Amino acid sequence: MPDDGAAGAHDRGLAPDLPSLVERLADLAGERLSTPPVGDAARTRAERLRDHVVGHLRVRARSLDAPLVVLLLGPTGAGKSSLFNTLAGRPTSPTGVLRPTTREAIVLVHPDDRDALLDGSLASIDPARIRLVDDGRIAPGVALVDAPDVDSVEHANRELADRLVEAADLCLFVTTASRYADRVPWTVLGRVRERGLPLIVVVNRMPPDPRERREVEDDLVRLLGTAGLRLRPAGGPADRDPDAVPLVAVAEGDLDADAEAIRREPVSSVLERIAGLRANRGERRAVAARALTGSIAGLGPLLDAVADDAEHEAIDADALRRTAATRYESELVALREGLTRGTFLREEAVRQWHDFVGADEVTRFFSSGIGRVRGALAAIFRRTPPPVEPVRRATLDDLVGLARLHAAEAARRTASAWADDPAAAAMIADRPDLWGTAPGFDDGLRVRLEGWLAAIGEEVRATGPVKRRLAQGASVGVNALGTGVMLGTFLHTGGLTGAEIGVAAGTAFLNQKLLGALFGEAAMVELLRHARENLDALLAATFGEERARYDELVPAGERLRDLADALRTAAADVRSLPPALPPLVRAVLDAPTVRTLTEPEAPAIGRPSAP
């Protein structure tokens, strides 16, 4: 079977580069939402881009013959559902005083269009929010959608209405003579204008007095003008201003109570228009082309706005990450300084090691030569079992405790700084764990330190023949030497310097000389250097993992900047697209005037005739 992608684009009347561009836009919209956007406005723009690309552009880029989506939109109590029932020819959408009456998208569709609609224009909408009404008596090709109220008290309803706007091909905006100036609906109408969505305005409950009726129409003309739209008064001739938005006026009392609908006569022009679309493929394609053209024309500014959002967030993300990095680096430096000074060691651990090696006795032997020292050590180790495990446990307990103290302080300082940033405060509001160390901090660090000590023992075994003999003999064990190197690492900064360093200066001097006597000065320098470098890397990795809990809350600034560049490139490609569009869409773009939706005949825009 041939691929139904670019290869078949010409057969569908669409340029092969348009579908590929739309797929790229869909990928960019998905990536933008995965970051995710910071702030309601940025999130709304990103979701709008996704819904617009997936719900409309992708569908129309693949085919102008996909079912046309006619959307009924309006505020609470405007009579949307009553008009929907009129267009459906039977009660289909609930009406009543309970608000909101429409909590889901009610879709009147021919059974043959059902799958194409669900897999196309409505594919990104939760199926639980869609109620399909199959009607085999209507002609296929047009789906009527009754949206929830645009000013619903329920956020989910307003969100669904916004998403349906992005998927529609034609909008019937329904309001009343007393509600037409409400702010929220006009915000939605602004989006309708931005994306070039074909529009008809239906005003219910118009006053019977001609003068009062004229006042409402004049005010509507003024308001639509401020929104960038031109309104053609009810019954006005289309040829005077073919681009104007047609107005359909429904008088107070024009209701069919039994059918829960508006009487057919006042909305006859709308009924005729829907019937014409159902009956004529060319008419449907003309509306689809006009909707697609408006979508493309209005996409550049939206892409630029989403790119600006990403770039601004990159600056903020970098600042937040720098804050975390600075706090954790500062506390890591403080931890290393504490280890260098040896101030964290428990006095008991130092005392046990001091007693074990017989500090007073061994120190006296230093003046008599290194051979006497080795002999004394051999006697001491043969006489007394080395207290290696108590020293190891006590020392590691202190190291873990000190590291936890500094990591917790870094977390507290980072969380406090982020809490002062409005966007970051929302991120950490539900994360109390970010104000301290991560669960399992102690256990994880202890495992790493045990591995570090094991590596010291391995290096002791590999330090040369003389050292191996010492390590293998009864006088000194590898664990004892490893613990000695550990203590030497904690207590010394420069290896064998001959200086008395640290707060326990005598112990520091003693451990240097003991290790130097056993291993030789050059080997001791290397052991201490390797041990300290490995310990520094171990602690840096632990603090890095702690800091990563914050980093994962915000995307990398570079990623956001790359995304912003890609969005701007796509916007430029969209703006350069019209010359490459197929004749049907290009003709709509190039035409000086475009037929209004209530004209009975198709415009001269190169539209193919109906089959």
The per-residue pLDDT for range 436-489, each reduced to its tens digit, is 999 999 999 999 988 887 887 677 666 654 444 444 433 344 455 555 555 555
Contact present, 315 and 557 (Cβ < 8 Å): yes
CA distance 593 to 564: 35
Contact 121, 60 (CB under 8 A): no
Question: Where does the pLDDT of residue 306 fall: very low under 50, low under 70, confident under 90, or very high at 90 and above?
Answer: very high
Q: Please name every residue paired with 150 in a beta bridge, in sequence order, or none if there are none.
A: none
pLDDT of residue 502: 34
pLDDT per residue over 142-152, tens digit each?
999 998 888 77
Segments in 127-169 forming alpha helices (H): 155-167
Per-residue model confidence (pLDDT) at position 304? 93
Angle made by CA atoms 88, 74, 219, in degrees to the nearest 5: 120
359 has a pLDDT exceeding 70: no
Q: Taking the CB of residue 333, how many other CB atoms lie within 10 A of it?
A: 11
pLDDT recorded at residue 566? 95
Tell which wins on pLDDT, 321 or 392.
321
Task: Name the residue with higher pLDDT: 187 or 57.
Answer: 57
User: What is the rounded CA–CA span in Å between residue 257 and residue 255?
Assistant: 6
Q: Is the pLDDT of residue 523 over 80?
A: no
The encoded tokens of residue 266 equal: 């006042």
Q: For 556-587, what is each residue's pLDDT tens digit? A: 899 999 999 999 999 988 888 765 565 556 55
Q: Which run of H or E residues covers position 231?
A: strand 231-232
Which of the four pLDDT bands, split at 50, 70 and 90, describes residue 105? confident
Query: From CA 109, how far away is CA 143, in angstroms rounded?
Result: 5
Answer for the pair 107, 144: CB distance below 8 angstroms, yes or no: yes
Question: How many percent of the chain have pLDDT more than 90?
Answer: 21
> Which of 189-193, 287-291, 381-385, 419-423 is predicted with the least confidence, judged by mean pLDDT?
381-385
Q: What sign results for the dihedral spanned by CA atoms 553, 556, 561, 566? A: negative
CB atoms inside a 10 Å sphere around CB 3:
7
Averaged pLDDT of the chain: 75
Instruction: Render pLDDT for 395-407 as a digit per residue (tens, 0 to 9).
Output: 788 889 889 999 9
| Confidence (pLDDT) at 467 | 47
pLDDT of 454: 80
Q: Which of 160, 242, 198 is nearest to 70 (CA)?
A: 198
What pLDDT was estimated at residue 373? Answer: 46
- The dihedral sign for the CA sequence 347, 348, 351, 352: negative
- Structure tokens given for 159: 């969100």
Structure tokens that stand for 51 in this block: 């819904």
CA gap 554, 322 in Å, rounded: 12
Closest CA to 468 of 514, 509, 510, 520: 520
pLDDT, tens only, 7-60: 333 334 454 477 888 899 999 999 999 888 888 889 989 998 998 898 888 888
Which of helix, strand or coil describes residue 247? Answer: strand
Q: Is 186 within 8 Å of 150 (Cβ atoms)?
A: no
Interval 165-176: pLDDT, tens: 888 999 998 888
pLDDT at 474: 31
Q: Name the pLDDT band for 606 (thresholds 50, 70, 90).
A: very low
The helix/strand/coil state of 134 is: strand
| SS3 assignment, position 399 | helix
More confident residue, 229 or 119: 119
Closest by CA to 580, choosing from 10, 6, 17, is 17
Peptide bond into 579 cis (omega under 30): no
